[in-house]
Structure 1
Amino acid sequence: MDPPTGAAASPPAPTTLRRNPPRSARPPPTPLPCVKSKPALSRLLDDAASATIPPPERLKVFLRIRPLPERGCGKAKAPRKPKKPDLVCLVASGANSVALTVPHSKLVDPKRGRTEVFDGFSAVFSPDSSQHDVFTQVMNPLVDEFLGGKSGLLVALGPTGSGKTHTVFGTPRNPGLLPLTLRQIFTATDESSKGVTVIQPTRSFCLSMFEILSEGKGERILDLLSDASDLVLQQSTIKGLKEVFIESVADAESLVSCGMLKRSTAATNANNKSSRSHCIITIRAVHENADVESGKSLSNAVLTIADLAGAERERRTGNQGTRLLESNFINNTSMVFGLCLRSLLEHQKNKKKPLEKHFKNSMLTRYLRDYLEGRKKMTLILNVKPGDDDYLDTSFLLRQASPYMKIKYSPSYH
C-alpha cells in the first residue's frame, strides 16, 4: 500500500546481515604427527556399501485406455433412436501422459474449453495397444523378480466396464496378463533347467484363486477352486483356502477357467457382465528340497494379481436391491484401498505422522496389508474409458491416483 502523499515518508529501517560473530584470537594448534587413521578406511567401506544399495523405487502406475465400446453394451432395452457417435474426452498426449478435456455439455461457458494434462505415469497404453504390449512393460519385471525370490502384486482398478477383467484374463484368442504370466513362468523355468550341471533345489508352483464379495451388509470370501465355505481371514492369510500344484501352463489355465465360471457377475445398465466381487489369484513358488548342507532357507515368493470390481455410480447403473448393496460394497472397498495408499504417502512424507490403520475396514485391504504399508512391492494398472459419457468416472480416478506415483518402496522388500 502506498504511503500518504501529504506526509514525508520515513526512511526504511536498515537491514543487518548477521554473519558468524567475531571470535577472540586463539593460539595456532599444535600440529599432530600424520598417522593413518582408521576412519578413512571405514569411510571407504561406507562409500562402497552405499554404492551397492539401489535408491528407493517409486510405485509404478500404468494407465490403459480402452477402445470406445459398441452401443448396447448394457442390459437389453427397447430400441431407441440412434444416438450421435461418442466423442472422446481422454487421449494419450505422450508416452507417460494423457490429456483430459471437459465435455462440451459440462462446460459452464461453452465458448471456453478446458483441457487438463495428467503426467508421470510409468506408461500410457492407447486404445490400440495389445495385451502383449501391456504384459511386456507391466508384468515382465514382476515375473523376473518373482522368479528371483521376491513377492509382488499387480492391482487392476478402474470404473465399471473399463476393461480390467479383459486386461487381467483376456480371451482364449487374446490372452491377458494372467495367462501370459503363467506362460512366462513355465518358459523361464524350463529354460533355466536346460544345460544346468550344478545341483539346484527343485522348484514348483501352486495356484489359488478366490473372490471377496458382499454378503448382506457384510463381506465374505469364496474359494473359486473348491466348494469350501468356511474360509477365515487371519491377518494376511486365508485359512482353508485351497492351493493346487500346477505342473504346466495347460493345468494352470484350466484351473483359472474353472474359477472364472464360479465368479460372481451380473448385468447392469453400465456393463452387461459386471464383476460383483474382487478376484485375487496367487502363484506361489515352492522349493521342494532346500539346500540342507548349507542350511539356507529359500524364500517361497508369491506373485499376486488382483482384479478389483469397478466403482459404480447409482444414477448410471440403475442398481436396486441386491445390486445396490453390491455397489455399496464395491465403492466402499475402493475408497478404503485409496485411503490406505494416501496414508502411506503421507507417512513417507512425514515420518512423525502415524500410518493410519485404514486397512482394518475391508477384507481386501487386510489381506493386502503388507503391500499397502510399503513392505512389499506393488504395481497398479488403471483402466479408463475415454468417452464423453465417462468423463466423471475417468476424471475422478485420475485425480485420485495421481499422488500414488510418489509412493516409494525400499529395495530391501521381499
Structure 2
Amino acid sequence: MNSNYRSTPHNGRVFRREKTTLSNGSSDALKEPVRVFCRIRPLENDADTSCISLVSPTVLSLNTPSDSKSSLQRELHCQFKQIFTSYATQKEVFDFVAMPLLTDLLKGRNALLLSYGVTGSGKTFTFTGEQSNPGIMPRCIDTLFNTIGEFQTPKFTIKPDRMNGFEIQSESDAIQDRLLENRANAKTLRGKLGKRGIGDQVHYENDGTRLHDIDESNYYAVFVSYIEIYNNTVFDLLDDSNGKNKQAKILREDSQKNMYVNGVIEVEVKSAEEAFEVMNEGQKRKRMGCTLLNSESSRSHSVFNIRLVQIEQIAHNSEGAPIVPESNLMKVSQFSLVDLAGSERTNRTQTTGMRLKEAGRINNSLMSLRNCLEILRENQLTGSNKLVPYRDSRLTYLFKNFLEGYGKVEMIVCVNPAVSDYEENLQVMKFAEMTQDVKIKKNENRDTPYLKKTIKKVGNTPSSSRRVRSNSSYSLPKIPIFTVNLENFNEIGVKMEQIVKILKMRKVKTDSAFSDFNKKDKHFRKQLCELNEANILKTSEIKSLKSVVKKEKQECYNLKHKITDLETVNDSLASKNGELHEVILSLRHTIDEKDLKINQKILERKKQNKNLHLQMKRCPKS
C-alpha cells in the first residue's frame, strides 16, 4: 500500500491503482521506507462474514459491506510488505518481522517495532502470545540468549550510568555488587522480582532458534526496561517502590541528543528466565480494562526495551583467559517493542467516566503519531521544512530520534476482518498507507570509548592524622626504670629526685591538656548549640514550605481534575458541533435546492409572460 488510489468504475466497483514511489533523488539512497506488515486475526464465529479478502501475499482487498448505506460498492486494494493470514503461526510472524531486527541489534543498530490496530485485533497476542505459543517478545528473548549465552560478561561488569549510557566497573566493584545482591536481595529490584512462588513463574517454549551472524570476539550484556504511557504520562512498570501509587517519569535528552526516560530501572539479565520474570512482572502492572469490544483491553501504550552492550575481548591475562581491556570501545544498541493501545470509537464501546477519558487520550496520542508521520511525508515529498510536532504527545516525543534516523522503524498492523469493523479497518489502512510513504534515514553504528575503572587505595583519613598529631603534642615523659641498690643511699636519693621531677612535668602537661580539653569542649558545645538553633529554624522553614507545597499540589490536583472535566466537556461539545455542522450543511443543501427551484419557476414565469405578450401583439384588435 505504497500510495493513494484513483477510482475507476468497473461493474459497480472501484479498484485501487498504485502510484509511483517517492522521488529517487540521491538523498533517498541514504534512506529506507518504513516497512509495514499486516496480520489478520481469525473470525470469532464461523457464521460471521469477512470484509477482507487476500489478493496476493502482499495485497489484500477491503470490501464495502453489503448492508452499507452507500449505494456504490468499493473494493480497495491495500499493499503491505507481507500479509499474515489467520493461519499464520507465531513463529512465521517472528521469523519474517523480528528476526532481521534482532540481527541488526547484534550488529549495533537500533530498531523500533510498533503494533497498531483497533482494540481487540490481536496486537497483544502477537507481541506476547502464550506459554505454549510465544509471541514476538518471548521469542526475541529466547533467540538472543540462545545466541550470546556463552559470550556474556560477568554480572555487574557493565552498569547503567542513569543518563542513558553505560560504564565499566572494576572487578572489585563488580564482586561487591554481586555480594550485595546475594546478601540483600530484598533491597534490589532483582530480589523483589525474585520473590515469586515456583508455581507463579512463566516459562515460554524455547525452540532453540539462534542467530549465526555473531562476533565471537565480543562480550555481551543485556539490559531490559519496561514502561507504559498512560493518559499521556510515562510510568515505570518495574518500579514498585511506591506501591500502587506509581511515580510519573519525565523524558530527557542525553549527550547524544537521544530521548530517554529519566530514572527508569534497567535490569541486567543473564538468562531468558530472568528476562521473562522482569517482563511478566511489568505486564502485571499494565493498565488493563474491560470494554464491550474487548474484555482485556490495554488502556496504555507499553514499551519493552532490550539494550545490548558489546565490548571487545582482545586482551588476555597471564593464564590466557580473555579479560576486559583497559581501554576500548563500547557498542550500545536498542530494540524497542511498542504495543500501542487500540484505537476505538466510543459509540461502539459505550465507555463512560474514566474509560472515556482513557479512550480520548489513546486516540489523541495515536492522532499525534499520525500527524508527525504526515508532516514527515510532506517534508520529504515537497522538500519543505515544516516543524514536526513531536512534543504534542509523550509517545511521539519518546521516539523522536527513531523517526529522525536513530534506528530502523517497522510496524505490524493487526486487523479484525469482521464486517462490523469495516470503518475502523478503513482508517487503519489509510494510516498504514501513509506510514509506508515515510522514509527514515539509515541508522549508523556508534561506538562509545570507555576506560576501565580502577579502585584507588584509601590512606589515613584526615581525622586519624589529626588524632596522631594531637597525641604527640600531649605525650607525657616516661618514668625511667632503675634497679635499687640498698647499700648506696645517695644513688637512691638522686633517682627519687628524677622521678619527682618527671611526675611534676607530667602533672603540668596533664593540667594543660585538661585545660585545653575544657576550652575545646566549651567551644564544641557552643557550636552544637548554634547548629541546633539553626536546625530548629530550618525545620520550621521546611515545615512551612511543605505546607505550601502540599497546598500547591492540592491546587494542582484540583486544576488537573478541572482540566479533565473541561476536556470531556470540550470533546462532547466538539462532537455536538460536528453534528450541528452536518445539520447546517444539510439545511444549506436544502436551501440551495429550493433556491434553484424558485429560480427555475421565475424563469418559467418570465418566459410565459413573454409568450403571452407576443400573442397579445399578434392578435387583431377587436
* Both proteins in one fold, TM over 0.5: yes
Maintained 8 Å contact 2:116/2:339: yes
Which of residues 226, 230, 240 is equivalent to 1:209?
226
- Quote the Cα distance in structure 2 between the aligned partners of 1:296 and 1:138: 33
Q: Which amino acid aligns with 2:37?
A: F
Q: Which amino acid aligns with 1:132?
A: K
Using a 3 Å threshold, how does the CA distance of structure 1 residues 199 and 165 change in structure 2: closer, same or farther? closer
For residue 117 of structure 1, what is the aligned residue in structure 2?
77
Structure number with greater Rg is 2
Maintained 8 Å contact 1:290/1:296: no
Per the alignment, in what secondary structure is the counterpart of residue 91 of structure 1?
strand
- Quote the Cα distance in structure 1 between the aligned partners of 2:292 and 2:39: 23
Per the alignment, in what secondary structure is the counterpart of residue 362 of structure 2?
helix
Deviation of 1:69 after TM superposition, in Å, equals 2.3
Deviation of 1:145 after TM superposition, in Å, equals 0.3
Correspondences of 1:283-302 after superposition (within 5 Å): 283-287=306-310, 296-302=328-334
Using a 3 Å threshold, how does the CA distance of structure 1 residues 295 and 264 change in structure 2: closer, same or farther? same
Q: How many residues align?
A: 341
For the pair 1:66 / 2:41, whether they are aligned, the reply is: yes
For residue 382 of structure 1, what is the aligned residue in structure 2?
413
- Quote the Cα distance in structure 2 between the aligned partners of 1:221 and 1:290: 37
- Quote the Cα distance in structure 1 between the aligned partners of 2:282 and 2:103: 26
Q: Which amino acid aligns with 1:159?
A: V
For residue 236 of structure 2, what is the aligned residue in structure 1?
223
For residue 259 of structure 1, what is the aligned residue in structure 2?
282
Deviation of 1:289 after TM superposition, in Å, equals 6.5
Deviation of 1:189 after TM superposition, in Å, equals 1.3
Maintained 8 Å contact 2:303/2:338: yes
Structure 2: where are the runs of 5+ without partners? 1-25, 153-209, 242-246, 254-258, 315-323, 446-622
More contact order relative to length (CA 8 Å, sep ≥ 6) = 1
TM-score, scaled relative to structure 1: 0.77
- Quote the Cα distance in structure 1 between the aligned partners of 2:269 and 2:127: 19
For the pair 1:232 / 2:264, whether they are aligned, the reply is: no
For residue 142 of structure 1, what is the aligned residue in structure 2?
101
For the pair 1:348 / 2:399, whether they are aligned, the reply is: no
For residue 395 of structure 2, what is the aligned residue in structure 1?
364
For the pair 1:401 / 2:432, whether they are aligned, the reply is: yes
For residue 36 of structure 1, what is the aligned residue in structure 2?
none
Q: Deviations over 1:228-273 (max 9, x none)?
A: 5152221411111100001011111111111111110010011110
Maintained 8 Å contact 1:290/1:297: no
Per the alignment, in what secondary structure is the counterpart of residue 306 of structure 1?
strand
Deviation of 1:190 after TM superposition, in Å, equals 3.3
Using a 3 Å threshold, how does the CA distance of structure 1 residues 287 and 192 change in structure 2: closer, same or farther? closer
Maintained 8 Å contact 1:264/1:275: yes
- Quote the Cα distance in structure 2 between the aligned partners of 1:213 and 1:85: 37
Q: Identity of counterpart residues, as a percentage?
A: 30
Which of residues 345, 355, 358 is equivalent to 1:313?
345
Deviation of 1:349 after TM superposition, in Å, equals 1.8
Using a 3 Å threshold, how does the CA distance of structure 1 residues 293 and 241 change in structure 2: closer, same or farther? closer
- Quote the Cα distance in structure 2 between the aligned partners of 1:165 and 1:158: 10
TM-score, scaled relative to structure 2: 0.52
- Quote the Cα distance in structure 1 between the aligned partners of 2:392 and 2:349: 25
Q: Deviations over 1:103-160 (max 9, x none)?
A: 0111423xx63211112x1100011111101001100110000011001110001111
Q: Which amino acid aligns with 2:146?
A: T
Per the alignment, in what secondary structure is the counterpart of residue 202 of structure 1?
strand
Maintained 8 Å contact 1:202/1:289: yes
Deviation of 1:293 after TM superposition, in Å, equals 6.9
For residue 143 of structure 2, what is the aligned residue in structure 1?
184
Whichever structure has more helix as a proportion of its residues is 2
Maintained 8 Å contact 2:311/2:329: no
Deviation of 1:202 after TM superposition, in Å, equals 2.0
Maintained 8 Å contact 1:54/1:411: no
Post-superposition, which runs of at least 4 consecutive aligned residues in structure 1 deviate over 4 A?
Answer: 191-195, 288-296
Deviation of 1:329 after TM superposition, in Å, equals 0.4
For residue 619 of structure 2, what is the aligned residue in structure 1?
none
Per the alignment, in what secondary structure is the counterpart of residue 329 of structure 2?
coil
